[in-house]
Amino acid sequence: MNVDEFVKVFGERFPEAEVRVSENKMPHPKRRVWVEVEREKFHDAMKFIRELDPKAQFSIIIGRDAGETLEAKYHMELFWEEGESISLIIGTSVPKEDPRLPTVTDVFPSALPYERENQEFLGFVFEGIPDPRRLFLPDDFPEGIYPLRLDETGIKPEMVKNAGHPYKIRKEGAK
């Protein structure tokens, strides 16, 4: 399957999804498929991709604080056994007041660490996640603070430490 075939097949199954193809220029010309699906259809979409290519390679989930919403983009490589693979970035977004997303660990088990990471750093809630523990943040890190959030639930200024420059320390005194 190539990029155009994938766009066609996926568009037929999920007509309301937003699909676009970007093109990288030299030195590594590559076409990338970008898909935006609403939260309700997201799990179905992931299942559909897995059925299209059972060997799809799940790479990572990139989460982002987009102001009113939280965005999650799932990167994967499809049909990599057939020579040139399809690079797919499938994303969805959720409102901040209701940051629930279905887990995709039942479809792609390797999504688990990325879901845990996005939960602790951005405050997503992955429904049905088999292991919701924190992954990177220390156990004594305060609850309800999400370090990658850009709003008031992000890191507080008083949590930021700077070891200081000797010129400033001597001028303003150690803090």
Per CB under 8 A, 160 contacts other proteins: no
Q: Which residues make Cβ contacts (< 8 Å) with residue 85, sequence separation at least 6?
A: 57, 77, 78, 79
54 touches other proteins (CB under 8 A):
no
170 binds other proteins (CB under 8 A): yes
Structure tokens at 52: 């299209």
List 138, 165, 174, 175, residue binding other proteins (CB under 8 A) = 165
- Residue 20 in contact with other proteins, rule: CB under 8 A: no
Strands (E) across 67-167 are located at 69-78, 86-95, 100-102, 125-127
Q: Stretches 25-33, 42-50, 110-118, 158-166: which one binds other proteins (CB under 8 A)? A: 158-166
- Measured CA to CA, the distance from residue 174 to residue 139 in angstroms comes to 29
Q: Rule CB under 8 A: is residue 174 a binding residue for other proteins?
A: no
**Is the bond into 166 cis (omega within 30 degrees of 0)?**
no
Please give the size of the binding site for other proteins, defined by CB under 8 A.
7
If binding is defined by CB under 8 A, does position 167 make contact with other proteins? yes
Kindly write out the interface string for residues 96-115 of this chain, putting x where it contacts other proteins by CB under 8 A and - elsewhere: --------------------
Nearer to other proteins, 25 or 165 (CB): 165
Place of tokens 């609850």: 143
Query: d(Cα 50, Cα 76) in Å, to the nearest integer?
Result: 11
Return residues touching other proteins (CB under 8 A): 162, 165-168, 170-171
